Amino acid sequence: MNPTPRGLGRCACAFWLAVACDVVGVVVLLVGVFAGVFFYDFLIYAGAIVVFFSLIWWVFWYAGNVEVPPEQLLTKKDRGSIAEAVRGLSRRVSSGVRRSLRRSGPRAAPVPLTELPAGHVHTVSASVEYDPAPCHTSETLTA
């Protein structure tokens, strides 16, 4: 018989990491809100992101403490049915892709540029000219 976990459960490390991330995130966020520093926006965003990442540790802690009775665990037969369902889905998707490729037929090969007639090839060039004079001067605005 397994002893019942007491206190924080089986995943105390994940619990303390989650609490630490929450505390650090809230402190950084509050420093960004109330301290008169020029990079306050960075602190606010960083604190919010750290608090958000603490959710990962909370999920680990919760998932590590979920108890499932042995009689509710999947048997080998149940796992086989899930594998069969995934295999059937894979077959259905791959056969659908094969059918669509067969229906579309072979693709036309691209024609090399050397075989095109001279009138079909167009050359485009672009240039940028720099004019150091400003676009608008005070004389042009008042005139």
Q: What is the pLDDT of residue 134?
A: 57
Residue 132 pLDDT greater than 80, yes or no: no
User: Is 60 exceeded by the pLDDT of residue 78?
Assistant: no
pLDDT of 4: 56
C-alpha distances (whole Å) from 47 to each of 33, 60, 70, 85, 135 are 10, 21, 41, 44, 46
Q: Residue 57, class by beta-carbon neighbours within 10 Å (0-12 exposed, 13-18 middle, 19+ buried)? A: buried
Q: Per residue in 23-62, pLDDT tens?
A: 999 999 999 999 989 999 999 999 999 999 999 999 999 9
Confidence label for 83 from pLDDT (cuts 50, 70 and 90): confident
pLDDT, greater one: 89 or 127: 89
